[in-house]
Chain A
Amino acid sequence: MRGPRLLLVLLLLTAFTLTVLDVRFGGRSPFDALRDGASRVLGPVERVVGGAVSGLGDVLGGDSAEQERLRAENARLTAELRRSDDLERRVAELDRLLGLREVADHPRVPARVVAAGSSFGFASTVTLDAGSRDGIREGQSVVTGEGLVGRTLRVGPTTCTVLLVTDPGFTVGARLTRQGTVGLATGTGRGLRYELVEGGRVEVGDALLTTGSDTFVPGLPVGRVTSVESGATSLVTTAVVEPAARLSSLDLVAVVVEPPRSAPRAPLAPAPAPAS
């Protein structure tokens, strides 16, 4: 029995030492080469296996054609309802459209989700079948047609890891479309938590868009407020946000490969003088 115990102590110490070294070296860890090697070897295998599994996943956990049709109809009816809603709502909707058009101006690389990470249920990451060879770099926005999915974390030659918006390590600056108030949205594991420092008003159903930063394209839908917790004593208003993108059945996504250097804008032309 002495053999296993000695080995146990030795391996525990090795694991602990690796962790300490990895933390000490921070961003430029000597283990990055190892991680890179692992993604070079495992990445292509995951691409093949994950790609094959994706088809199976559509059958097992995906939506049926009927659900898909209902969702499309729901989206169409909601859009119609908005069209007949008050001016405030139309301004918000226009704001959203403007935001989405800004996204459409950026080059995007389509990719499929081939694997996911969980770390005993604490982390929310996925692996895509596109990497540095496709022009993807670290810290770029990942989107679906519905909204923001996350940002790229580690990029291998043919695969990359994406930190999902629901991961507690994820934070994004976000603006309420109706009120225009700016705050921070952070992942909570299941959804997001949106914190307003100014003590502004948030209502259930409010939509959140990214404010835009070095990483994130401005105007991407982040999610929708599902409940508001405003403590009587607290100065901070907190809202629970459901992500705009359906993360549980994620398949096709797009990586915005060129982050904006500045928000794209056109000069405002002066109003033409009225003809006399």
Chain B
Amino acid sequence: MRLRRSALAAALVLVALLVQATVLARLPLPGAAPDLVLVVVVGFALAGGPLPGTVTGFAAGLLADLGADHELGRTALVLTLVGYLAGLLADDGARSRLLPLLVVGGAAAGAVTLYAAEGILLGDRRITGEAYAAAMTGTVPYCVLLTPLVVPAVGALVRRLDLDPLRR
């Protein structure tokens, strides 16, 4: 059971990373791009609980870091926390329609803020008030828009593999 769930998480994260890089980040959208990896981590955490959420968040973040132009571990830190906190809400979030939207919105806002805070500590030139405002008004709503497409699908996949998704 555990192995199959890990395999599913790995496959979902890899597909999310690829779609993120080749499609979503390239869309000529005003402002920023949606972050599919974050939405998938939240979806997996809401369906599986804090333990799978934490591990999936860390792995997804580390893989994203390897391909990104910043210090290793920055996205991993952010998504580990996102996976854990979203996982804590798994009991309430399993069947609600509104909660995933709120969780993804909160997670995206928190992720942008934490990433920016890391950048300030590390002296990242990319973190400016203007860039922060653009990320908050761009990334957060786009992630929320992705939620109804992604989170129920991830939840359904987890439930199909695991008859008792909330068991820890």
A-to-B contact residues, CB < 8 Å: 1, 3-5, 7-8, 11-12, 14-19, 21-23, 29, 31, 34-35, 38-39, 42, 45-46, 49-50, 53, 57, 60-61, 113-123, 125-127, 153-154, 161, 163, 167-169, 188-190, 248-249
Contacts and interface: CB of A to CB of B under 8 A. Distances in A.
A127 B69 CA distance: 11
Given A7-B55, A12-B77, A122-B116, A38 B63 contact: yes
B54 A121 contact: no
Given A115-B25, A121-B32, A189 B134 contact: yes
A202 B74 CA distance: 40
Contacts of B130: 188-189
A118 B17 CA distance: 12
Contact of B73 (A8, A19, A153): A19
30 contacts: A1-B50, A3-B168, A8-B54, A11-B76, A11-B80, A14-B58, A14-B76, A15-B58, A15-B74, A16-B73, A19-B118, A19-B122, A22-B71, A42-B17, A50-B22, A53-B23, A61-B28, A114-B22, A115-B25, A116-B25, A118-B25, A120-B75, A120-B135, A120-B139, A121-B112, A125-B68, A125-B69, A168-B128, A189-B130, A190-B134
Interface bin, chain B: 35 or more
B22 A11 contact: no
A185 B26 CA distance: 24
A15 B35 CA distance: 20
Contact of A46 (B18, B62, B81, B111): B18
B10 interface: no
Contacts of A46: 18, 21-22
Contacts of B81: 8, 12
A7 B112 contact: no
B16 to A, nearest CB: 13
